[in-house]
Structure 1
Amino acid sequence: MHVVGLVMHPWVGLSDDVRLGVLTEWVTPELVDEVLAECGRGGVKPGALSPRFMVYFTLALALFAQDSYDDVAENLVGALEGMHETVPNRASFTRARQRLGPEVLEVLFRRVGGAVAPEGLVGSFWRGMRLAAVDGFVLDVPDSEANRAYFGGPTDARKAEAGFPQVRVVTLTETGTHASIDARIGGFNGGERELAVQMADSAAGMLVLMDRGLPGVELWKAYTGAGAHLLLRARSTVASRPLEVLPDGTYLGRMSLAGQRASHPGGVTVRVIEYRVDGGEVIRLLTDLMDIDTYPAAELAALYHERWEVESAYRQVKTFQRGPQQVLRSAAPALARQEVWAHLVVHHCLTLIITQVAGGERIDPDRISFVKVLKHVRRSVVTQAKDAVSAVGSFLSMLEAKVRRKLDSGPRRHRTAPRVLKRPDSKYSPSVKKRQHGPTRRVTAQLITLHPTVGG
């Protein structure tokens, strides 16, 4: 009887040796195996595309977001003998990603993520509280029926589909380092506030900054109930009637649910701080920090502008790491969520590297070029060896040396740019033609002046 032998792929027994360059320092094989076991993906019979390899491959898809599956695989295994000439086909990678699912990458993010700023880092603490900001952004995903049904997307005035379906991401971000402390993923049709409420427990002991689209009674109670403090910008109609004017010109107001009287027990009492920037419109802030001596209004007004650091973090993910206006590669909702979690893991690891290098040079992490660090990390993957983790120390030392020559962009300058819609629905709109586009320009530091309320 003639027996046909089973042909095994050349990667079998080798793919578990693949690492993710210097990022393996934080995403270790041991951690990956623990997460796989926790998610029920451990104990799978090893194959050419083992679960551990697929975790690294999925992270590499985020690190090399503009490369094809083949190119990403070659970047991972090109330095390992016997693997770069036998890369599996695209369908094999897709099936392996489906088997892995999104939960593994989400759990990995929660194991790797968190606050990273050391005590005393400028822009990270205020009066003993760690500074964080909550905000959100969206990412385009392929326009498949599954993605459209699951995530939803923007529509035009006639409620017709307009543009790609979009994943909504809301993060709790450390302002001093841009590290993601927590994150939630939803669809375009879901609100940022609902996702923000889910992260309240992660903000305990912090001072959390938010823009005016987020304040609400439910969110306020969730965060203060979890032990966090809040400094939120409010719309002009929220808490606009003073209940009691305080000696420093701030006042106590009432934020209630829509349609309720200010005295309704379902509302909350807030301290209101009003100020102007360079004599412009009155900006209203709400806070639960009631002691006017311990928490001066002028400092809180100046502090609120640290909220814009979260926008810088989102730019790092959307423009530099993913690529400007680039659509994610996953046509199925589960794979799209997996891809987003991978982007968040990679960005957090890059933030850890920047924070370590800045700490070694004793400078603000804002001064370290994210783009150059990203390029160095990519090269560390392409040139890796099996003992890549042992090279982390020399890698960080190399970056610290380059800080003095190339990576240090210097103290941040005060700049401004016209606030315009960068991707208008139609280039023929008259209002678009009237907008002034141009580069940012240097400006002097903005002058913040309090707008005190006079007691009656």
Structure 2
Amino acid sequence: MHPWIGLSENVRLGVLTERVTPELVDRMLAEHCCEGSRPGALPPRFMVYFVLALALFQQDSYDDVAENLVGALGGMDQSVPNKSSFTRARQRLGAGPLEGLFRALAGSVAPEGLAGSFYRGMRLAAVDGFVLDVPDTTANRVFFGGPSDVKGRDVGFPQTRVVTLTETGTHASIDAAVGAFNGGEPELATRLAGSAAGMLVLMDRAFPGVALWKAYTQAGAHLLLRARSCVAQRPTQILADGTYLARMSLAGQRASHPGGVTVRVVEYRIDGGEVIRLLTDLLDVDAYPAAELAALYHERWEAESAYRQIKTFLRGPAQVLRSAGPELVRQEVWAHLVVHHCLAQIIMHLAGAGGLDPDRICFVKVLKHVRRSVIRQRVQMPMKLKTFLTNMAAKIGRKLDNGARRLREADRFLKHPESKYGPRYRNSRGHPAPRPTRKVPEKIIEPVIVA
């Protein structure tokens, strides 16, 4: 009999157990028919916590992650099962319980009045997507696909695509969809429409389309989307503030086709640069001034900050996921989304305790504290959990508070040239080397008025 039998059920996930409770895990296992038929060294509940720990300790091996989980529990680290046992247990578990956990936990967390989270009574959210590299196995390549060159040859790793509905003020995920690289972001984004009711949703210019527009507006959401210059370019009515109404139709249709939609077009420049075009269903020029919408659109970048937390700090920069099959890849991605959302909730708790905007709380340091809580099993008793959070809150002033955000920018360049052995000061495509981030004055937004 393996020494872990009867003991692994006692393993928890540190401070994250306050949100991912054993009762919630058991409910998800029951809903997805993953309850264990007999006790074993790696029962389903333990495996849920183990998969979440794989996301929390992405750079560590299976052995190291297992030791992090059980090292404080009476010698269990001396009898860690081998890697193949963990892999088989992950396969038995599947992706369903982790996706169920995310859907049970995800949602908006910003309290009323939090800066950057609301606009005229509507909660602000952003839809965007990112890709994650997965191991280059035949199964992953067939299921997910990946980038290719002009001749159709595979380039780099297969990739899975993730699209999220993110609360701009807190970086918390409200909903998410996981798919293949070969599937488009708009298709995944359309699946999230039902979770956006009552919100003002921001998207970049990769998303505008009639199907997506109708899905969100029919679900009760409002939209503020950037668009290409060829979209809704013919005014049908000039409004009082210089914005105008136009028709957005499917490709190949006339503007008057009944299958299209009427949108309000807001155009502006930043520091005299290119014209930026926004589409919105907020047609009242008095209730929703163009200048406010132009300034508001830049909150969309908060989704990029959330993705940086997932891809750079939680996963690790340029790290490839560890799962060799599509089902385990999906399981791993949902685990990353669960852990990130729990961290966003902890940050909100700490920000509330310190009376700060959550943007000022250092994500990296919170992540390190949470990892330490797992290694120390600091959630074995409620008082220990309360003490841990109290100690974290006490460190806000000297460690966790990043201070108010500064206005900074850096020119956008290709960060990963094809060859890392190119000239020192120019990348392989001839662009100048990126300059460091620098302080800049506040941007000037100039509306473009259509006569």
TM-score range, shorter chain: over 0.9
Matched residue, 1:337: 330
1:53-452 equivalence runs, <5 A: 53-385=46-378, 387-427=380-420, 428=422, 432-452=429-449
Amino acid at match of 2:435: G
User: What is the aligned residue count?
Assistant: 447
Task: Check whether the contact 1:142–1:331 (CA below 8 A) recurs between aligned residues.
Answer: yes
RMSD: 1.1
- Is there any run of 5+ residues in structure 2 with no aligned partner, and where? none
Please give the alpha-carbon distance, in whole angstroms, between the structure 1 residues aligned to 2:376 and 2:295.
Answer: 45
Please give the alpha-carbon distance, in whole angstroms, between the structure 2 residues aligned to 1:170 and 1:30.
Answer: 29
Please give the alpha-carbon distance, in whole angstroms, between the structure 1 residues aligned to 2:341 and 2:384.
Answer: 20
Residue 43 of structure 1: CA displacement? 4.5
Task: Check whether the contact 2:427–2:433 (CA below 8 A) recurs between aligned residues.
Answer: no
Please give the alpha-carbon distance, in whole angstroms, between the structure 1 residues aligned to 2:436 and 2:377.
Answer: 39
2:450 to 433, 437, 453: 453
Task: Check whether the contact 2:378–2:384 (CA below 8 A) recurs between aligned residues.
Answer: no
Amino acid at match of 2:398: R
Q: SS of the counterpart of 2:78?
A: coil
Q: C-alpha offsets along residues 279-298 of structure 1, whole Å, 9 cap, x if unaligned?
A: 11010000000111111111
Task: Check whether the contact 1:255–1:268 (CA below 8 A) recurs between aligned residues.
Answer: yes
Please give the alpha-carbon distance, in whole angstroms, between the structure 2 residues aligned to 1:124 and 1:434.
Answer: 37
Residue 156 of structure 1: CA displacement? 1.1
Residue 426 of structure 1: CA displacement? 3.6
Is it true that 1:20 corresponds to 2:17 in the alignment?
no
Task: Check whether the contact 1:10–1:82 (CA below 8 A) recurs between aligned residues.
Answer: no
Residue 82 of structure 1: CA displacement? 3.3
Q: SS of the counterpart of 2:55?
A: helix
Please give the alpha-carbon distance, in whole angstroms, between the structure 2 residues aligned to 1:126 and 1:353.
Answer: 24
Task: Check whether the contact 1:207–1:229 (CA below 8 A) recurs between aligned residues.
Answer: yes
Task: Check whether the contact 1:357–1:399 (CA below 8 A) recurs between aligned residues.
Answer: yes
Runs of 4+ in 1 over 4 A off after TM superposition: 427-431
Matched residue, 1:3: none
User: What is the TM-score when the length of structure 1 is the normalising length?
Assistant: 0.96
User: What is the TM-score when the length of structure 2 is the normalising length?
Assistant: 0.97
Is it true that 1:50 corresponds to 2:43 in the alignment?
yes
Amino acid at match of 1:73: A
Amino acid at match of 1:341: W
Task: Check whether the contact 1:209–1:307 (CA below 8 A) recurs between aligned residues.
Answer: yes
Task: Check whether the contact 1:171–1:182 (CA below 8 A) recurs between aligned residues.
Answer: yes
Matched residue, 1:5: none
Q: SS of the counterpart of 1:273?
A: strand
- Is there any run of 5+ residues in structure 1 with no aligned partner, and where? 1-7
Amino acid at match of 1:104: P
Task: Check whether the contact 2:217–2:223 (CA below 8 A) recurs between aligned residues.
Answer: yes
Please give the alpha-carbon distance, in whole angstroms, between the structure 1 residues aligned to 2:380 and 2:37.
Answer: 25
Please give the alpha-carbon distance, in whole angstroms, between the structure 2 residues aligned to 1:315 and 1:430.
Answer: 23
Please give the alpha-carbon distance, in whole angstroms, between the structure 2 residues aligned to 1:91 and 1:264.
Answer: 58
